[in-house]
Chains A and B, each alone.
Chain A
Amino acid sequence: MQTAEFEALYRDCAGAIFSFVAGMLRDRSAAEEVTAIAFERGFRARATFDPRRGAPRAWMFGIARNAALDELRRRGRTAELPPDPEDRTSPGPPELAEADARRAVVLRALDALEPHERELVTLRFDGGLSHAEIGEILDVTTTNASTMLHRAVIKLRKACDEMA
């Protein structure tokens, strides 16, 4: 991958990568650093990108995922981080209190998911990746990625309903 191609990839997905990493880490500050590290790693590894093996976007998300997992391992904890209220919900007038409460329910429900299920949800809804791209990142077929994601979403909905 030439520098210009990598730069275009960076322009295209820097925001989505940050959102995905933030979803993984639940820590905006750490997500910023990990996002930067991921792009630096990606740039150094750009010569190893093989278009026959997947889309550039999925390749870059794979690097970001590994960087986020490295960070979680470094911290000695998994994604069961306490949600940062400032990151994931925002204070507001009283009429927004109900919305905040509902978002807190979703956060608790996300915490109730298995790590791989939470990662699927994050890749899809924070990263905005297609089922095919998720399959490439997780090394499963698209069909499997779709099935796994469907199950995770159903489980998340059920958890939200129960916690509401």
Chain B
Amino acid sequence: MRWRERQPDDPGVGADLVELGEWGPELVALRAEPRPEFLADLDRRMQPDFARGRADEELAAQRSRRRLGLLPALGIAVPAAAAAVVALVLIAGSGDSSGPDKLPVAVQSQPGPKAMGGAAAPQSESALSRPGGPSAPAIDIVARQVAAGEPFVLRYSARRSGAVFVSLSPTGGGTATSTRRVGLPAGSGRLRIATDELTGGSYALVVTLPSGQSALRARVRILD
């Protein structure tokens, strides 16, 4: 299907029928009209889909309203006019860690010396060569591509508690970038970045250490 273009006014079916001359009325008479019984059957066939669709949308709207309802109380401004604004909600299970902007951040971690070697810990990176040194948290991303409404999940492990800054910004232009400070306790765990309020497309996901070094830099995508 082509991109829509400016179109002249349509001449109307009647104008084209005139070109058929005396055969125009016969062609119109041949048009098959649907039986009322068929339309009624079709209504019955489609109604369950429509009902399910409305229910799903209402549920999604309720979830969205609940999330949006949290934001004013937390002092987070969400500029509605900026389509590319990123609303980050970082949730990682239970815990008491939160950034200075009081985002609802909870950290699910497995504290202790096994943190670096835990099941959730990123394994591909050498601790010595890691930005920020061996004591800095190691962070990687589980999947760089998620369906709309699904969260990006980051795995982390840290020998000691600290903080990182997470930002997500569209790569296709726009200046809106939301950065959130997230406290991480020692251990390993996960961060979830909600995408409910984001449009599909490509984004740059950056996790920065307090020193300014990048702990993770990834191009991610939200599918439409």
Instruction: List residues of A (70-95) whose CB comes within 8 Å of B's CBs.
Output: 87-89
In this complex, the interface size class of chain B, counting residues with CB under 8 Å from chain A, is 35 or more
Q: Are B20 and A54 in contact (CB under 8 A)?
A: no
Contact with B along A98-110 (1 / 0, CB 8 A): 0100110111010
- Is B125's CB within 8 Å of the partner chain A? no
In the assembled complex, the CB of B32 is this many whole angstroms from the nearest CB of chain A, namely: 4
From A46, which residue of chain B is reached at the shortest CB distance? B53
Could you show 16 A-B contacts with beta carbons less than 8 Å apart? A6-B50, A14-B34, A18-B32, A32-B35, A43-B49, A43-B50, A88-B30, A105-B26, A106-B27, A131-B11, A136-B2, A139-B2, A153-B16, A154-B19, A157-B20, A157-B21
Contact with A along B30-52 (1 / 0, CB 8 A): 11111100110110011001100
Instruction: List residues of B (1-19) whose CB comes within 8 Å of A's CBs.
Output: 1-5, 7-8, 10-11, 13, 16-17, 19
What is the number of residues of chain A that contact chain B, defined by CB distance less than 8 Å? 62
Chain A residues in 8 Å Cβ range of B33: 15, 18-19
Q: Are A14 and B224 in contact (CB under 8 A)?
A: no
Contact with B along A39-64 (1 / 0, CB 8 A): 11001001110001111001100100
Instruction: Tell me, in angstroms, the Cα distance from A59 to B46 when the chains sit together.
Output: 18
Q: Are B50 and A52 in contact (CB under 8 A)?
A: no
Q: Are A32 and B3 in contact (CB under 8 A)?
A: no
Instruction: Tell me, in angstroms, the Cα distance from A125 to B2 when the chains sit together.
Output: 22
Q: Are B19 and A125 in contact (CB under 8 A)?
A: no
Chain B residues in 8 Å Cβ range of A125: 13, 16-17, 27-28, 31
